Amino acid sequence: MWSKVGLWLMLLSLSACVSDSLKDVRQGSARMVTTTDDLRPPDTTTASGAYQGVTEYRVGPQDVLDIAVYQMAELTRQLRVNSKGMISLPLLGPIQAAGKTVPELEAEITQLLADDYLQDPQVTLYVREYTSQRVTVEGAVAKPGIYALSGRTSLLQAIVVAGGITEEANPRGILIFRVTDGKRMAAVFDLREIRGGNVSDPLVYGDDLIVVDQSGAKSAWKTILQTMPVLGLFRVL
């Protein structure tokens, strides 16, 4: 449970994120893009871990890995990647895990075992917890906060994790903010269009900020949204 001080600090942090993003949009430093393909993964999806492209995930610090080696029970275990991106296995010692895909890490462990210990090692690796990737959900949702992504997560799924939208929400005003190529990017979606299957449900990534606007006079983004097409497509501001 959050303490009163912890909750206050979290809300203060979220407020600062939203304020900075709104300022970036107004000043024109946050850009809309023309298609979902143009809103690439954020700059943080590099060696620190995260998704590259659409399907590939790179392990990051604090992720939890399940590692199994056939017929070697002593190497079959659950490990958390430490803050430096390392894991440690019996016989093999420290191994750099962060920044590598699951197949790359499997292949490296397999080769290390084949070099000195096993003739034909069979290694299976699975990411149990994607703890290194977190997304912030703010605005008219039941439980605003910072959430760890448990694998590939879409915008709609992230909103569900945050308890869903409230009665005061504007379903046409769902904004995503992301830093790509050193620039803060912004996109706006209509939740009804996504739910209806009329537009794609975009992936969200670690460090994304999702803001659900309020409807009517309570809208904090009314002026901004009036300048953006809310069609589930991205546009340049």
* pLDDT tens-digit map of 20-47: 544 544 444 444 433 444 456 666 554 4
Strand 86-89 versus strand 93-96 pairing type: antiparallel
pLDDT on residue 128: 86
At the topology level, CATH places domain 60-129 in wza like fold (3.30.1950)
**pTM beyond 0.75:** no
pLDDT for residue 42: 66
**Per-residue model confidence as pLDDT tens digits over 145-189:** 999 876 778 899 999 999 999 999 988 888 888 887 777 778 888
CATH number at 15-48+132-226: 3.10.560.10
Q: Which regions of the chain does DSSP assign to beta strands (E)? A: 30-32, 50-52, 56-58, 64-69, 77-80, 86-89, 93-96, 123-129, 134-139, 145-148, 153-154, 169-180, 183-189, 203-204, 209-214
Question: Residue 104 above 70 pLDDT?
Answer: yes
CA pair distance 157, 205, nearest whole angstrom: 12
**Domain range summary for the chain, segments of one domain joined by +:** 15-48+132-226, 60-129
Give the whole-angstrom CA distance, residue 65 versus residue 86: 11
